[in-house]
Amino acid sequence: MSEAPDNPSSKRALPAFPVAASKALENAQLRRNMRKATSTIREKRTRAVAEMPDWEELREAGHRIKENVLRSLDTYLLELEASVQAAGGQVHWARDAQEANDIIGQIATKHAAREVIKVKSLTTDEIRLNSALKARGIEAIETDLAELIIQLAGEGSSHILVPAIHKNRAEIRELFLKKLDVDQLTDEPRDLTNAARSHLRRKFLSTPVAISGTNFAVAETGSVCVVESEGNGRMCLTLPRVLISVMGIEKVIPTWQDLEVFLQLLPRSSTAERMNPYTSIWTGVHPNDGPQEFHLVLLDNGRTRVLADTVGRQALHCIRCSACLNICPVYSRTGGHAYNSVYPGPIGAILTPQLLGLERAGSLPYASSLCGACYDVCPVKINIPQVLISLRGQVVRQKQRSRRLRDRTNPEAIVMRVIARIFANRTRYEQAQHLAQIGQLPIKHGEFIEKLPGELGNWTIMRDMTAVPPQSFRDWWRTHQQEQNRPEDKSE
């Protein structure tokens, strides 16, 4: 993962989405796996949501709570810190990935840990925690089944909720036979799960330090909430002596009461369940019960920069449900690897460029047909299409202000400027229409054009292009008007 393109300590641009997507689309197995997984979960989500008579009100409430939090983020974070400390926990503020990794590494080293167990956490993936710990001689063991699978396979996650969505059970069986301590194994889910369970049980009972992420942190009480399906989280959060939770600063919510909204929105939107099988909420430390040392690491890593963008900041509302991924016609075909980021899909297309900078991820805002399906399903009403358009504007303006002549005079920008000038004047526009009618004659075959020049040729790879008809609407209108205005023939 340390070589992955969206490494926070790198300045390298992510591979361009069109290129990465093109490659991914060729993988027929991936296409099949993605199609099956996303269509199944989509249907389940629709049913789960249809049960809720007040779903739209819940979405609006979730949106407003998050909006409110972002407006007063500083206040809520300070309140959270005070509450956690009052409950016996420790709070650390990490400006970026490196600081967060140093803080966590130091805690683990202080406890002489050679291994730590982990609950699935996108935030820890974002900061490349596992490789940072490895550099300190500490092995981070993923305990979430899908995370375990991709860790054993040495791959990156391709979905924020179902990281191994790109693997089917035959592939997983092969992997377990190779990497786990098993002699034989069928590809029945039960068998596969039991193999993983035995492997993990040994770890849960022997590892003193655990690291988790944070779904929600309540400022009022200092309580931290983690939801999950498998129970590995519960093991990690209760058995070890030391618990470290990493939290993107946008995850704070004001009051305990606010959990009511999010704990209804999240499970139905993500796994399409009425409630997560394991919802764990804890506050600080308690003598002889659970971890005796609790550390909350507050992570910025670009979030305050996102906060400064009045349109883009709504990306920070995200509660990581993945409903947008599952409904996205682009993501459900390309899979997550094509986005080359910890955060793929529609939310990734707006969050990754803002966290990493548009210079690194400028193709992601264009990885969308603006169909709007993501906005419809987002439980906290992030207007993803709106943010995409805003980010596209920033990409264009950056190029226009670039020091590189190549950027300022790129063909697309020139064509767009020319067209805008044409459209700004009726005479020029009508002239352009007539010019097109004539200019296309060499390449027109009947009512269609079979090959367009240059980049427009992308259209005619698989489609014919409608040729410009010999009479525009407005030219027809003028004759139509003349006919209307002719004195009527009275045939009586």
Q: Which residues here bind another protein, judged by CB under 8 A? A: 17-18, 21-22, 25, 311, 329-330, 333-334, 365-373, 375-376, 386, 389-390, 392-397, 413, 416-417, 419-420, 423-426, 429, 433, 436, 448, 450, 455-456, 458-459, 461-466, 468-469, 471-474, 476-477, 480
Amino acid of residue 257 = Q
Please state whether beta strands 444-445 and 448-449 pair in parallel, antiparallel, or not at all (unpaired). antiparallel
Looking at the Cβ atoms of 74 and 412, the one nearer to another protein is 412
Residue (78 or 418) nearer to another protein, CB:
418
- Show the tokens assigned to 320: 């990581």
Instruction: Quote the least distance from Cβ 428 to another protein, whole Å.
Output: 9
C-beta closer to another protein: residue 17 or 204: 17
Least distance (Å) from another protein to the CB of residue 349?
Answer: 11
Smallest separation (angstroms) from another protein to the CB of 449:
9
- The two tokens of residue 268 are 């139905």
Tell the burial category of 76 from Cβ atoms under 10 Å away from its Cβ (0-12, 13-18, 19+).
buried
> Residue 112 or 461: which CB sits closer to another protein?
461
The strand order across the sheet containing 252-253 reads 252-253, 216-218, 223-228, 278-283
Give CA–CA dist 65/260, Å, rounded: 12
- Other beta carbons within 10 Å of 286: 13
Q: Which is nearer to another protein, 56 or 260 (CB)?
A: 56
Min separation Cβ 453 and another protein, Å: 12
Give the shortest CB-99-to-another protein separation in angstroms.
34
- Contact predicate 297/245, CB 8 Å: yes
Nearest 5°: CA angle at 345, between 362 and 24? 85
Residue 16 burial (CB count, 10 A) = 16
* Residue 392 C-beta: closest distance to another protein, Å: 3
Report the alpha-carbon distance of residue 330 to residue 367 in Å, rounded: 8
Residue 19 CB, nearest approach to another protein (Å): 9
Q: Kindly tell me which of 11 and 406 has the beta carbon lying closer to another protein.
A: 406
82 vs 416 by CB, closer to another protein: 416
Q: Which of residues 22 and 106 has its CB atom nearest to another protein in the complex?
A: 22
Give the integer Cα–Cα distance in Å for 161 and 38.
Answer: 11
Q: Measured from the CB of residue 223, what is the shortest distance to another protein in angstroms?
A: 37
Contact (CB, 8 A) for 132 and 126: no
DSSP string, 77-96: HHHHHHHHHHTT-EEEEESS
Of 26, 76, 411, which is closest to residue 216 (Cα–Cα)?
76
